Structure 1
């Protein structure tokens, strides 16, 4: 019997070695939320038997077997040395047009830093090979050179689901009549003004991409790799797109065949809470409200007036409060509030005493609260948070309120509504059932499609024909010009004909008058 077990173990190890792939993940952005997703993807794939290398700005302290980190520490050092980071609370009312212009200007220096990195140079100059390369898509287009260098299929990963930046690269349709841009806070049923704004924003965003982002990254690419193909040959060659999205959270939108939703893959079975937290939550007779504004917003930067309102309202609640706070002390902290610079968020949301999540509307937090079936009160500030909050409101598992317009009475009313009205909890549980109702786990779905792409040598049969069309053909500008030109010509001919007929009638009328 023992010999059989040993034999089966050997077979299992052999199967893993046969099925396991060598994968490279490129997630270099110095943003903790982006890294969390890239790192969870890398660890999840490593746990499924692959050999995974990740290029990142952060380091994993507890790597699983088969996981290797290429940690570019100078990225975070550069970010910290660049001076005081902007107060994002002051950016709440920034115009979407300014955000659209600002975001792409941040990443070119980062891209150059990556290509200049000693560790990345060593990797590129090594004799290593990879079966596929997964690149985060977020204004680092020149990184699509890396899979070309290793002669491996390009797999793009979108941390924010389907959006304009990823749709353009795979010719995925996104009708602006019902799909708002990710930087706007519109619902799917837009008014005339919202559709007009969305349409104009759509055109302006594409102009920024085609006139600035793509040319800029093409220039960076050829600065370091003069013999590389033009960027357009690389970035439009994605074999697969993995999307951090799901219909339980995001709007249902079209996907071309190589776009796969894996939203929720980073949510793991909840771990045991630390003893102090466990006691705090277990002994909360009226339940617990969890309050976190994510990894990018700095809570102590919020205006004093708003902080005082929040402290007063939360301090008057019967529930206990867990507040993720970035400092050791919180002035005037109520007795029912516990603060910490870090909380095990998923474990807290999974606890039966957790009644509400006060969030900034970040996508990771939204996915986690939906996965664990907890209602939300959202204070969206920046980027995609406003669109996420709009969807939270529309799907009925929470309420979104404008942070800069928070009043004491307004906050009290919002808390009472979402905590006392059972529909929010019911809708949260419904969304949770939907996100879990899948044939396989999302990380296993990613694993299947990555293997599929490698198995079929890039799976070019999933590529839609729209990618091979020039813009004027894709948007049928020549056809529209022909149609509207024809209509204009016909209108001109009819106008001239009608004038000629009127002139002829006038002459005939005058001739009759003379005869009479």
Structure 2
């Protein structure tokens, strides 16, 4: 028996890996995804170090060491991300804002004593590094710790990352997430705009973002070693939160894995007063929340007043996430809360419509519960998500610049009241939501099981270099076959010049022959 116990302990030690997860972005909607992964890795017996602005603080997770960098939220509140999109800002302004924000976050988080102590550990401390890729600086952890690196994103990533990995990045077929376009581009204007966005990300990455990340990586992780771009191209695995409803159909190379539906098990429950409000709302409930990244104190103009007035016009009970729980002129049917258990609310049978900003996590939660949407997209991937949800038939979209009291009221009523229409149109939005839910949930394994399996696969195969696509090593001129095109054009040009010269010589020879013949005839 003692021998068996010793043997099993040995197996456990072999299977246990030391994992560093550094997920820096101060947004709970992002962190829900990463927390689920880190928790599950710990439950699988791995020794996990988790650097996050939203620690789990779960004493039952004995294999989990958390480093709290929640002070980064102070920086997030300084920036107005309510207009962070191409409808309001240029690509250059978006890049400038993200660079400024990321550098401040890096300075705060990397300056913490616990993080600095971590960086003093030996280079072989970890068997795997997991990071969020939106700030390219964090790829530099590979310079400090000699371990395979996995990039885990709570959404898709921009087009140049796909190119560096070897994924196809055709701007007509697969527009960049920041182009705010969906699917194949048909008009010439759309094609030009999508190409412009793709090329801008290449130029801005090469000339601005990567060089600055290299400077910061040298500062915090030591000089020398591979560049940030080289590390990105050599990343063992890319894990992107892309569900089948939002997928653009892009074929992925072997080391790009799409996952989804891993943040849903939060075991949320209602406070007693909220339970009563939901249960007593026999006429139906409209749930209103613009997520965690859009704050009403950042929204400009009379938008706040417009929204409250529109919600007050509805014949339904409204539960609304707001910055305060009381508001001057608050309608009787509107209940304000600073924080709400969103998954639990969406699962309640009385909820008729979810008014949302269109964030990926909120959209997935609505799909899973079959709740139709009214989307008011503000920033990032939200405009694109809104287009997808509307094109799929489970949502209506209102752009912030078109947001008026009457439009908001009528749109909510349109989505909520569809069930009272005639038989052919009966419950169209909700039926579409249920159809998408069936597609979403019909998968061979759970999202979290897929993520954990692939992470452990990389550990087992020491970086899984065999998954890496040779396309990752192709420079742009080879990827677009410009060298081949140049040779073909030069060959055609040479053929043309040689042919032209030969024809000219033949013409001269023919002219000379004709003249000689003519002279002979005249002489005779």
What is the TM-score when the length of structure 1 is the normalising length?
0.88
- Report how far residue 272 of structure 1 moved: 2.7
Determine which of 287, 302, 306 is the counterpart of 2:303.
Answer: 306
Residues 135 and 154, structure 1, Cα contact 8 Å, conserved in 2: yes
* Alpha carbons of structure 1 residues 227 and 419: separation in structure 2 relative to 1, 3 Å: same
Q: Is residue 2:130 matched to residue 1:134?
A: yes
Give the distance between the partners of 2:329 and 2:5, measured in 1 at CA.
59
Aligned residue number for residue 287 of structure 1: 284
Determine which of 318, 323, 336 is the counterpart of 1:339.
Answer: 336
Give the distance between the partners of 1:344 and 1:213, measured in 2 at CA.
37
- Report how far residue 339 of structure 1 moved: 0.4
Give the distance between the partners of 1:414 and 1:444, measured in 2 at CA.
39
What SS does structure 1 have at the residue aligned with 2:178? coil
Give the distance between the partners of 1:506 and 1:289, measured in 2 at CA.
91
Mapping 1:225-374, distance limit 5 Å: 225-268=222-265, 270-374=267-371
Mapping 1:44-83, distance limit 5 Å: 44-62=40-58, 64-65=60-61, 66-77=63-74
* Runs of 5+ consecutive residues of structure 2 not aligned to the other structure: 419-426
Give the distance between the partners of 1:361 and 1:278, measured in 2 at CA.
25
Residues 177 and 381, structure 2, Cα contact 8 Å, conserved in 1: yes
- Report how far residue 498 of structure 1 moved: 8.2
Aligned residue number for residue 377 of structure 1: 374
Give the distance between the partners of 1:37 and 1:187, measured in 2 at CA.
24
Aligned residue number for residue 23 of structure 1: 19
Residues 359 and 376, structure 1, Cα contact 8 Å, conserved in 2: yes
Residues 269 and 341, structure 2, Cα contact 8 Å, conserved in 1: no
Moved more, 342-351 or 255-264: 255-264
Determine which of 420, 427, 433 is the counterpart of 2:432.
Answer: 427
Give the distance between the partners of 1:419 and 1:510, measured in 2 at CA.
93
- Report how far residue 253 of structure 1 moved: 1.7
* Alpha carbons of structure 1 residues 507 and 298: separation in structure 2 relative to 1, 3 Å: farther
* Alpha carbons of structure 1 residues 513 and 181: separation in structure 2 relative to 1, 3 Å: farther
Moved more, 460-469 or 9-18: 9-18
Moved more, 169-178 or 300-309: 300-309
Determine which of 74, 79, 86 is the counterpart of 2:80.
Answer: 86
Give the distance between the partners of 1:120 and 1:215, measured in 2 at CA.
23
Residues 75 and 104, structure 2, Cα contact 8 Å, conserved in 1: no
Aligned residue number for residue 440 of structure 1: 445
Give the distance between the partners of 1:193 and 1:138, measured in 2 at CA.
29
- Report how far residue 123 of structure 1 moved: 1.1
Aligned residue number for residue 208 of structure 1: 204
- Report how far residue 506 of structure 1 moved: 11
Residues 22 and 50, structure 1, Cα contact 8 Å, conserved in 2: yes
Aligned residue number for residue 467 of structure 1: 472
* Alpha carbons of structure 1 residues 311 and 462: separation in structure 2 relative to 1, 3 Å: same
Q: Is residue 2:198 matched to residue 1:193?
A: no
Q: Note the alpha carbon deviations across 1:34-65, whole angstroms, 9 max, x for none.
A: 23322222123223333321112343344541
- Report how far residue 8 of structure 1 moved: 12
Aligned residue number for residue 409 of structure 1: 406
Residues 47 and 64, structure 1, Cα contact 8 Å, conserved in 2: no
Q: Is residue 2:117 matched to residue 1:122?
A: yes
- Report how far residue 374 of structure 1 moved: 1.3
What SS does structure 1 have at the residue aligned with 2:444? coil
Determine which of 31, 43, 64 is the counterpart of 2:39.
Answer: 43
Moved more, 333-342 or 71-80: 71-80
Give the distance between the partners of 1:113 and 1:269, measured in 2 at CA.
29
Q: Which has the larger radius of gyration?
A: 2
Residues 249 and 367, structure 1, Cα contact 8 Å, conserved in 2: no
Residues 287 and 319, structure 1, Cα contact 8 Å, conserved in 2: yes
* Alpha carbons of structure 1 residues 374 and 507: separation in structure 2 relative to 1, 3 Å: farther
- Report how far residue 122 of structure 1 moved: 1.0
Aligned residue number for residue 477 of structure 1: 482
Aligned residue number for residue 166 of structure 2: 171
- Report how far residue 167 of structure 1 moved: 0.9
Aligned residue number for residue 154 of structure 1: 149
Q: Number of residues paired by the alignment? A: 507
- Report how far residue 166 of structure 1 moved: 3.0
Residues 186 and 387, structure 1, Cα contact 8 Å, conserved in 2: yes
Residues 290 and 358, structure 1, Cα contact 8 Å, conserved in 2: yes
Moved more, 168-177 or 88-97: 88-97
Give the distance between the partners of 1:511 and 1:318, measured in 2 at CA.
104
Give the distance between the partners of 2:148 and 2:131, measured in 1 at CA.
11
